[in-house]
Structure 1
């Protein structure tokens, strides 16, 4: 039985790589490699965006959260994400598409200059290396546990290297097209896995199980605690989810090259907007599906805690059910889906980091004009370089404590506010120049480092002292406010730039 499951996993991994290469075709230009020459169907881009932001931890932690105390709170978060993506679709996507950009940071060059573009790009690739390296290591943890159930023990380093090598094959050869097509396949598989789990669990718990989960609060959606400390520290407080979540999504999907690159691969502004907004809707559906898995698992296990089930944390609930509650082959297919989630986020990161390195740093600071073929070769070379660095970085975490992991997960709080703030400064403060933007960017990173690492709020009751950090959704609004304030004040100390005279109209005889 274990041999059958392992065979299913191997066949799936090979098939995904083949599909990516088969559908991507031969890459003949840097534009083809980085944005698919702007010819990708919007629905595949939509699925790729969803798969890019879905990691192994998302697949296993949302059911675990619904099982314990979050209920359907992640769906509430998705409402704010939809609002933020809609704003990005209206305000920023036309700017990127009509400018013919292959990187979001090319706007910063156009508006401010190449130095801010370079700073933004370096910030992106360094923080993405940190975040994705730790995500790659974290992905190896449940995969090692899952494979252990099949009688295999490979070790974290072997899993990290194997995932990286397999992913880099189709990412290196197929470019963004391979990434998008494989993302679509992988998203379909892990979502199908959730639907299969729901069907099996429903058959086992029946209507009474749904009723028990409802009465146990597992379908709880809206957090109506409007206490100030709760709003500031809980990701699931309604204002945090809607307002903070919307601004967070504006940063993650409007100023992060990881997502913007996929959107730029569509055929038109309208297709880009449809892909962006639809991805928010699909995220809500995905969160609901995985939350439902967690609620039904609670009824299936009669409400027992993870510890009572012999599990170290709630994150083990869904993988444990896959391995012990589903028939052979199906369980292997769902494990493959978890592997697919890891590969999808990794391939997306490698291609976007390569893109930003070449388009924003190498080309931006090169003293000579680079040919398109040189750009293509550099893009592929940087894909290999970043893959090697990411694997080495991930393996370096194999013996670390959870503190480093939690710091890496909070990395968006350090930089997202500065990145989104730079874009908004360019749009809203007309007199701001490159010096203002760089000063504001640096000040924001410094302030947010203090906020993320040093600010805690007392949420204790009845005389108890319990402190929590500020909810991740509020870190971006704080960062944006700092960028706009510092950049706006700095812009008052120099004359406003003179408007550029319009080009004379061409006279046609």
Structure 2
């Protein structure tokens, strides 16, 4: 990095933190600190919702995903606009009418304290892990490519977020989200046009898409019904719908964004804005990745993008084999560049030369084969190594091909995205701990100042937990891929609880509690058994929570008091046995 990059990166981050801290300091009551005094306009709600979901992983991984697999990942978001409509019609009016601080307060009014506590604890577990991941994932990639100390980066990102989130609460998160989204989208748009400018002069945008399409990068829709396929139109509409419905409707990190809206209408407009813009935004980010792929048709790319793995293999006995593959890749790249120029020349004359087309496809297939052989060598050196290098593609392009100054801006984009999602997570974790746990454990009237101070203290606590988790992240495998998977494991069950609460009055508290508890344990078993793609866990979790609670309620209604006690004890025994089995399994897995 050049001095100009450092200046742009430092000034951008410090401005966001200082602005957020100074603009919103001095919150004196709980409503102002947690709900921003319900003064947030709709467009700020919309931007804040988008910034909360758009973590650094989105801007690191998504272009790399498109580079390798094309635009098909956009199907993941097809269910999101439908979910926004359902939330606007059902969830938002109820939350505002009851004047709740957290989504889980509603569950106590509908069911009882233990149902509220179960949902809150599930949220704290998955969001606590998720917040640590939003810090760790960009830190591990940046430290690998820039040579920066990983733990120092974890602490730096976490500390910056803690400062303004503690100071201003929800208002600080909402205010900084506006600046962060401006930095993020400005950086991505500028990068897109620079990539286009870097392509050969004779290559039009339309012809660039033609080259991408020739290599199957523009296949957006997949109608396959294979349950093992991760991204199809069906997983997007069904699994993506349930995931979005649970995430935006029941996850406090999102609920808190639109609970701060000025009115029901303002909150609804903010979510509709997100529903309208989210799919185009993700499509645009994927398109950047496709253009990076086209760029590398005319420039050489490394055999493997993760420098940690490259360094490891270059110190091993497989160095010569790896170097041989690199030599072959250079030959393929040189021929591919030549064929690409010839193909573009033909396209420029409105002629799609099938021979050149097929040759280009063959060369890219050969390149994929070489990369696969490289991954196999890396696994021989270290069986636990993460050989999926998709997350390193875009940052490699940024650091090696973008001009001075813009590198600093793009790194500011990545840091801003990490900070925006982490801040929302910490804010929601602190609010849930304060309102749903602390206030329940220590009942009685408490002054606003006391609750504000406790919420600030919980913000600091969860911030330190997230940093600690991030610093010990190297003890776990495949963390970067876990963000959506962790959500899918837990979101379905919580969504099932809320759907019952909203729509099925027949089911009462005890049946709902035990049904949801059993459903969550079953989902963990299903995930570990790798029976279906993780997106289907959202559908399955919600269905199990509803189905089991309905079945238990029917058994309770038809049972005598003695049989009712037996059923409760059976449920408790099943939960204890399954919990013990799962805990034992994970302990054995850790020490294996």
TM > 0.5 between the two? Answer: yes
Rounded Cα–Cα distance in structure 2 between residues aligned with 1:96 and 1:304: 54
Partner of 1:446: 521
Give the drift of 1:413: 2.8
Distance 1:126 1:224, change over 3 A: closer
- From 500, 508, 515, give the equivalent of 1:433: 508
Aligned to 2:99: 100
Q: Is the 8 A contact 1:85 1:246 kept in 2?
A: no
Aligned to 2:230: 235
Query: What's 1:491 paired with?
Result: 553
Equivalent position to 2:303, from 278, 299, 308: 308
Question: Structure 2 residue aligned with 1:272, among 267, 271, 277?
Answer: 267
Shift of 1:308: 3.2
CA distance in structure 1 between the aligned counterparts of 2:434 and 2:217, rounded to whole angstroms: 47
Q: Deviations over 1:260-286 (max 9, x none)?
A: 110101011111111112112222122
* CA deviation profile, 1:71-101 (whole Å, cap 9, x unmatched): 2223322221111122111111111111111
Aligned residues: 472
Would the aligned equivalents of 2:142 and 2:148 in 1 still touch at CA under 8 Å? no
Give the distance between the partners of 2:476 and 2:117, measured in 1 at CA: 33
> Alignment partner for residue 372 of structure 1, among 448, 471, 475?
448
Distance 1:307 1:173 in 2: 44
Pairing 1:422–2:485 present: no
Work out the CA distance in 2 between the residues paired with 1:302 and 1:288: 21
Distance 1:41 1:72 in 2: 33
2: CA distance, partners of 1:287 / 1:168: 28
- Whether the aligned pair in 2 keeps the contact of 1:55 and 1:341 (CA below 8 Å) is yes
- The yes-or-no answer on 1:27 pairing with 2:27 is yes
Question: Post-superposition shift, 1:27?
Answer: 0.8
**When the two structures are superposed, what TM-score results if normalisation uses the length of structure 2?**
0.76
Spell out the pairing of 1:18-167 with structure 2 (5 A cutoff). 18-69=18-69, 71-146=70-145, 148=146, 153-167=147-161
Runs of 5+ consecutive residues of structure 1 not aligned to the other structure: 457-469, 497-509
Q: TM-score, normalised by structure 1?
A: 0.88
Equivalent-residue separation in structure 1 for 2:124 and 2:443 (angstroms): 22
Question: 2:539 & 2:208 partners in 1: Cα distance?
Answer: 41
The structure 2 residue matched to 1:179, chosen from 164, 173, 179, is 173
The structure with more helix, counted as a fraction of residues: 2
Equivalent residue for 2:544? 482
The 3-state SS of whatever aligns with 2:445 is: coil
Cα deviation, 1:223-263, whole Å, max 9, x if unaligned, reads 132x3xx2x22232111111221111111111111111101
Larger radius of gyration: 2
- Structure 1 Cα separation of the partners of residues 437 and 459 of structure 2: 15
Measured in 2, the distance between the counterparts of 1:303 and 1:420 equals: 48
Query: What is the CA–CA distance in structure 2 between the aligned matches of 1:305 and 1:276, rounded to whole Å?
Result: 43
Q: State how far apart, in whole Å, the 1-side matches of 2:258 and 2:31 are.
A: 14
Range with greater deviation from structure 2 (174-183 or 128-137): 128-137
Q: Name the SS of the counterpart of 1:233 in structure 2.
A: coil
Cα distance in 2, alignment partners of residues 406 and 291 from structure 1: 17
- Aligned twin of 1:288: 283
Does the Cα contact within 8 Å between 1:118 and 1:364 map onto a contact in 2?
no
| Runs of 4+ more than 3 Å apart | 303-312, 403-409, 493-496
Aligned-partner Cα distance in 1 for 2:221–2:298: 22
- Structure 2 CA distance for partners of 1:311 and 1:362, relative to 1, 3 Å: closer
**Cα gap change, 1:491 to 1:157, in 2 (>3 Å):** same
Deviates more, 1:281-290 or 1:169-178: 281-290
Tell me whether 84-93 or 259-268 shows the greater mean CA deviation. 84-93
Paired residue for 1:254, among 239, 249, 264? 249
Deviation at 1:303, TM superposition (A): 7.6
2:382 paired with 1:382: no
Query: Deviation string for 1:114-158 (max 9, x for gaps)?
Result: 221112111111221112213321121122245x2xxxx431111
Is residue 327 from structure 1 mapped to residue 410 from structure 2 by the alignment?
Answer: no
Query: Which whole-Å CA distance do the structure 2 matches of 1:171 and 1:390 have between them?
Result: 14
CA 1:375–1:38 in 2, change beyond 3 Å: closer, same or farther? same
The aligned counterpart of 1:411 is 486
Rounded to whole Å, the distance in 2 between the matches of 1:66 and 1:354 is 36
Alpha-carbon distance between aligned partners in 1 of 2:479 and 2:5, rounded to the nearest angstrom? 34
Aligned-pair distance for 1:314? 2.6
Residues of 2 paired with 1:441 and 1:305: CA distance? Answer: 52
Q: Does 1:392 align with 2:468?
A: yes
Residue segments in structure 2 that go unaligned for 5+ positions in a row: 308-388, 559-592
- Seen in structure 2, the aligned counterparts of structure 1 residues 314 and 35 have a Cα distance that, compared at 3 Å, is same
Give me the whole-angstrom Cα distance separating, in 2, the residues matched to 1:125 and 1:343: 19
Cα gap change, 1:304 to 1:474, in 2 (>3 Å): farther
Equivalent of residue 437 in structure 2, options 318, 339, 361: 361
CA contact (8 A) 2:242 2:492 kept: no
Mapped partners of 1:385, 1:482: distance in 2: 34
